[in-house]
Amino acid sequence: MTVLCPALFLSAPASGQGKTTITAGLSRYFKNQGKTVRVFKTGPDYLDPQILAQASGEAVEPLDLWMAGENDCKHKLYEAAKVADLILIEGAMGMFDGDPSSADLAATFGIPIAIVMDVKGMAQTAAALASGLANFRNDYQVAGLIVNNCGSERHSQLIRDALPESLPLIAALPRNPEVTLPERHLGLVQAAEIRDELEQCIERAAVWIKDAGLTELPAPVAFEPTEIPQPKKLLQDRQIGIAKDEAFSFIYDANIELLEAMGAECHYFSPIHDSYLPEVDALWFPGGYPELHATKLAENDSMAIAIREFFEADKTILAECGGFLYTMETLTDLEGNIYPMLGLMQGHGAMRGRSGCQGMQTAVLPEGDVRAHAHHRSRSESTPEPIGHGRRQRHPAPGEAIYRERGLTATYLHLFFPSNAEAVASMFSAQD
C-alpha cells in the first residue's frame, strides 16, 4: 500500500555548503514540534549520521543505489514513511558527483530537492548556479534554493530577484558561526566525543532554522512497498565480538541487523577499556580513529594478549580501515609519534594529514564479492603480499589491498555486508 509522507532531499553544488548543519537544524526544529523525523544520508558515511541521529532522536541509515541497491533503499524509505511525519535526506558532495549521484537517488524516488548553497562572496551568481543545477537534467524536481551564510537582507534580496519564477528562494540563513559543526581529518567529529557541545549547537541551529522561516513541512511524497527476502540463518548461534568504543565506531546498523538476522549473537567490547575478550567465535574490528587513542590502545597489554591468542588459535577476525591499522606492528600519528599495535600481521601504518583515498570499490574475497568503500587519511607499508585487491567502481587500476593471515582478513575497505550476505556468513563461519 502506498504511503504518503512529507519529504525533502537536501543537496548542494559541492561539499562544505552547510548541508549537515541545515539538515540537523531542520530535524531538531520539527522534533521539538513533536514530529517524528527520519533522516537518511546519501552514500557511505559514518560521521554525519551520528550528528543527524542526535538531532532527530532516530537512527540514521545510508542510502546508496550502488552499494545497497534500489530495493534496499526503497524498502528503508517505505518503512520510514509508515512512522514518520517528515523524511529528510542529506546528499553527498555535489548534486551530480558520484555514480550514482544524489540527483540520481532523488530522481529514482521522486523526492524534491532543496539546493543548499553557501553564498558568501556572491549574490546574483548564486542564482545562476542554482538555475544550472535545477535545469541540468529533467528527471528530478527542485523545490527551491536555501542560501546559507547570507550577509544581510539586501544580500538575500539580490539573489531572490535574480532567480527565475520556477526556482523560489525557500530561505536565507544568516551567517552564524555558533551553528558550525566541528571537523577533523575524516570529516565531522564523532557525536559521542562532543555530545553536550553538539546538543547546544543543534539547538541553536533549530532556532536559526525557525528564525529563517523554514517552519513548513514540505509536500508529501508517495512511497511504495517492496519485497526484501529474509536472509538465511547461516550464522545460527555464531558468537561475534565487535570492537566498539572511541577508537572503533564506524559501523553500519545494516551490518549488525544482517548478522543478527542470520542468527549471530553480537557482543561488543572495547579494545581501549576492557582487559579481556568476550567468549566469541569471531572478531570484527571496524574503522574509526585508532590514531587518536593510540596511547591507550598500546598500553592495554591484557587486551592485546587476548587478541593475539585469539589470532594464534586461527579464529576468524575481520579488520577494516582503522581496525586494519590496529592489527599491524606499529601506528604513527599525525605528530610523528610511533605506537606499538597488535602485530597480527607485518606492516606499519602512518597518518598522512589531508592526503588520502576514498571511493567505492568491490572487495574481491575468496568467499565472494562484497561491495564496499574506502575513506582514509593514512598509508600502510612493509605489508605482506595481499591475496587480492578491491575492484574500483569505474577505474581499471587495482583498488585497496586485501590481506589474509591465518584467520585474519584485513583491508582498508569498509564492507557493506547486505550486498552479499552469503559471502559475509561464509567468512564469519570459517572453521576455527
Residue 356 has pLDDT above 80, yes or no: no
Superfamily holding 239-428: Class I glutamine amidotransferase (GATase) domain (3.40.50.880)
In whole angstroms, what is the distance from residue 92 CA to residue 87 CA? 16
Give CA separation, 192 vs 77, 220, 245, in Å: 26, 33, 10
Beta strands in 264-407 (DSSP E): 265-269, 282-285, 287-288, 316-320, 330-332, 338-340, 348-351, 357-365, 368-376, 378-381, 388-392, 398-405
Distance of CA 51 to the CA centre of its chain: 11
Give the pLDDT confidence of 235-249 residue by residue, as tens digits. Answer: 999 999 999 999 999
The pLDDT-based confidence of 193 (bands split at 50, 70, 90) is: low
Quick one: what percent of the chain has pLDDT higher than 90? 85
Looking at every residue in the chain, the average pLDDT score rounds to 93
In whole angstroms, what is the distance from residue 427 CA to residue 270 CA? 22
The pLDDT-based confidence of 323 (bands split at 50, 70, 90) is: very high
The pLDDT-based confidence of 106 (bands split at 50, 70, 90) is: very high
pLDDT of 353: 67
Q: What average pLDDT score do residues 257-275 get?
A: 98
Closest to 373 in 3D by CA, of 87, 68, 17: 68
Query: Is the previous residue joined to 340 through a cis bond, with omega within 30 degrees of 0?
Result: no
pLDDT of 377: 84
Supply the DSSP string of 350-382, one letter for each residue: EE-TT--EEEEEEEEETTEEEEEEEEESEEEES
The residues carrying an active-site annotation are 321
Grid cell at residue 169 = 528562494
In whole angstroms, what is the distance from residue 253 CA to residue 72 CA? 13
In whole angstroms, what is the distance from residue 13 CA to residue 428 CA? 41
pLDDT of 352: 82
* DSSP 8-state class, residue 346: S
Residue 9 has pLDDT above 80, yes or no: yes
In CATH, what class is 3-223? alpha beta
Give CA separation, 286 vs 149, 216, 246, 317, 381, in Å: 36, 40, 12, 11, 20
Give the pLDDT confidence of 156-165 residue by residue, as tens digits. Answer: 999 999 999 9
With the C-alpha atoms ordered 397, 41, 412, 259, is the resulting torsion angle positive or negative? negative
Grid cell at residue 55 = 538531532
- Measured in residues, the chain has a length of 432
Ranges of each domain in the chain: 3-223, 239-428
Closest to 371 in 3D by CA, of 309, 429, 421: 421
pLDDT of 187: 47
- Identical fold between 3-223 and 239-428: yes
The pLDDT-based confidence of 95 (bands split at 50, 70, 90) is: very high
Choose between 356 and 282: higher pLDDT: 282
In whole angstroms, what is the distance from residue 271 CA to residue 289 CA? 12
48-62, 307-321, 405-419: least confidently modelled range: 48-62
Residue 406 has pLDDT above 50, yes or no: yes
The pLDDT-based confidence of 431 (bands split at 50, 70, 90) is: low
Contact between 66 and 102 under an 8 Å Cβ cutoff? The reply is no
The pLDDT-based confidence of 358 (bands split at 50, 70, 90) is: confident
pLDDT of 184: 44
Q: What average pLDDT score do residues 121-137 get?
A: 98
Supply the DSSP string of 169-202, one letter for each residue: EEEEEEP-GGGPPPEETTEEPPGGGGHHHHHHHH
